[in-house]
């Protein structure tokens, strides 16, 4: 089967090629560094399937071009699918698959790493000691043991994160429309978003981006925070109203912010911009704060996670080509 892979990085090609070599009948993969959007969609003409990532655009107009070019399958090498117009895909006869599970530990552990770095000022200490400054002023943190941690989204990643924080001796609160008995078995308790904000010393986001969750962290929610609370987002950038978060940082209401995702990341992340002028004033303001850490959407980036993502993607291609059921298909459900 002919496959066009968009937003390709070196590691994508290496791991996809490795997974492809294990197929009984390897697929013919062509790699494009460019993201999928209206300008690049014609590159997929003649390909049976396209493989896309989190910042590719698969709106109705793009899907129309894909369908006209002969594409029949859209394979996301990620879990989230908010960048795909599922209604348009169904109308055009395009099947859509994703990677439901890769390694919840990869993202959960990165969230914990951001919390520890923010709390204990690791980033600042690292820069100081490289300049032979071993003073401790300004580096004081707090014990996580005995603190309250709020988890917004208690799916697989959220539950792994909760288990880790429970191991630190934290009280864990959750917010999710779907109750998880596994989360409750950890000692977690579900509360409203207001109570979670008011009680949590640390808040971590692990929910998908939907119309209901967009800007779930907004000015109103931030105003309820326990003063000095830490906020970490390793899920989707659109969950946080960045301008409101900046105001909460300036007022001191928000004690620290760790972001692995950013709502305007599509023009920034996964590329080296170190020799360019970045016109995005918001990200420039964010990175100017001493109590903000931004990483470039790397929470998923472990050997185990990438291996699983690529193997799952190739398995979906195998099933589609053979006419078998697609275990990880995303079906459009009318509202």
Handedness of CA 176, 179, 181, 185 (dihedral sign): positive
Q: Which of 63, 56, 67, 70 is nearest to 85 (CA)?
A: 63
In this prediction, residue 333 carries a pLDDT of 74
List the 73-76 sheet strands across, edge first.
28-31, 2-5, 49-52, 73-76, 95-97
* DSSP reduced 3-state for 204: strand
Q: State the pLDDT at residue 335.
A: 65
Section 150-165 average pLDDT = 97
From 11, 22, 1, select the one nearest 300 (Cα to Cα): 11
Mean pLDDT value across the chain: 96
Partners of 181 in beta bridges = none
Mean pLDDT, rounded, for 16-32: 97
Could you give all domains of the chain from N- to C-terminal order, each with its CATH number?
A: 2-102+302-322 (3.40.50.720), 104-294 (3.40.50.720)
Tens-place pLDDT, residues 230-259: 999 999 999 999 999 999 999 999 999 999
* Angle, helices 104-120/122-130, rounded to nearest 10 degrees: 60
Distance between CA atoms of residues 308 and 297, nearest Å:
18
Residue 120 annotated in active site: no
Q: Are 3 and 28 in contact (CB under 8 A)?
A: yes
pLDDT over 90, % of the chain: 96
Catalytic residue among 27, 110, 159, 265: 265
Distances (CA, A) of 170 to 148, 193, 194, 327: 6, 18, 19, 37
145 is catalytic: no
Q: Rounded to an integer, what distance in angstroms lies between the CA atom of residue 100 and that of residue 102? A: 7
User: Under a CB-based contact definition with an 8 Å cutoff, are residues 183 and 211 in contact?
Assistant: no
DSSP state of 84: B
Q: How far apart are CA 58 and CA 37, in angstroms?
A: 7
pLDDT of residue 271 exceeding 80, the answer is yes
- Pick from 99, 68, 155, 62: which is nearest to 330 by CA? 99
Q: Is 304 a catalytic residue?
A: no
Query: Hey, what's the torsion of the CAs at 214, 215, 217, 221, to 10 degrees?
Result: -110
Strand partners, 49: 3, 73
pLDDT at 169 over 70: yes
Q: Does 297 score more than 80 pLDDT?
A: yes
Band (pLDDT 50/70/90 cuts) for residue 334 is confident
Residue of 297, 321, 324, 329 marked active site: 297
The stretch 134-139 carries a mean pLDDT of 97
Q: Active-site residue among 57, 199, 206, 236?
A: 236
């Amino acid at each position: 089967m002919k496959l066009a892979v968009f937003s390709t990085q070196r590691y994508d090609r290496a791991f996809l090629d490795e997974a492809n070599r294990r197929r009984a009948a390897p697929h013919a993969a062509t790699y494009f560094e460019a993201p999928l959007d209206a300008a690049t969609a014609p590159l997929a003409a003649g390909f049976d399937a396209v493989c896309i990532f989190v910042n590719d655009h698969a709106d109705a107009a793009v899907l129309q071009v894909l369908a006209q070019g002969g594409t029949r399958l859209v394979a996301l090498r990620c879990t989230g699918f908010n960048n795909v117009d599922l209604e348009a895909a169904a109308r055009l006869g395009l099947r859509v698959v994703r990677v439901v599970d890769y390694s919840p530990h990869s993202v959960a552990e990165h969230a914990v790493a951001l919390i520890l770095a923010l709390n204990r000022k690791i980033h600042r200490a690292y820069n100081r000691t490289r300049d032979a400054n071993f003073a401790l002023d300004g580096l004081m943190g707090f014990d996580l043991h005995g603190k309250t941690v709020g988890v917004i989204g208690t799916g697989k990643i959220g539950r792994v994160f909760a288990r880790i924080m429970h191991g630190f001796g934290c009280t864990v609160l959750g917010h999710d429309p779907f109750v998880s008995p596994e989360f409750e078995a950890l000692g977690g308790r579900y509360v409203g978003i207001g109570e979670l904000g008011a009680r949590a010393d640390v808040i971590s986001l692990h929910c998908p981006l939907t119309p209901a969750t967009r800007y779930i962290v907004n000015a109103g929610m931030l105003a309820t925070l326990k003063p000095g609370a830490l906020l970490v987002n390793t899920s989707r950038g659109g969950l946080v109203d960045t301008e409101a978060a900046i105001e909460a940082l300036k007022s001191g209401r928000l004690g620290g912010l760790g972001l692995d995702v950013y709502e305007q990341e599509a023009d920034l992340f996964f590329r080296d911009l170190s020799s360019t002028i970045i016109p995005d004033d918001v990200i420039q303001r964010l990175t100017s704060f001493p109590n903000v850490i931004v990483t470039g959407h790397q929470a998923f980036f472990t050997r185990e996670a990438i291996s699983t993502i690529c193997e799952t993607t190739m398995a979906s291609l195998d099933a589609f080509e053979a006419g078998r059921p697609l275990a990880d298909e995303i079906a459009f459900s009318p509202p």
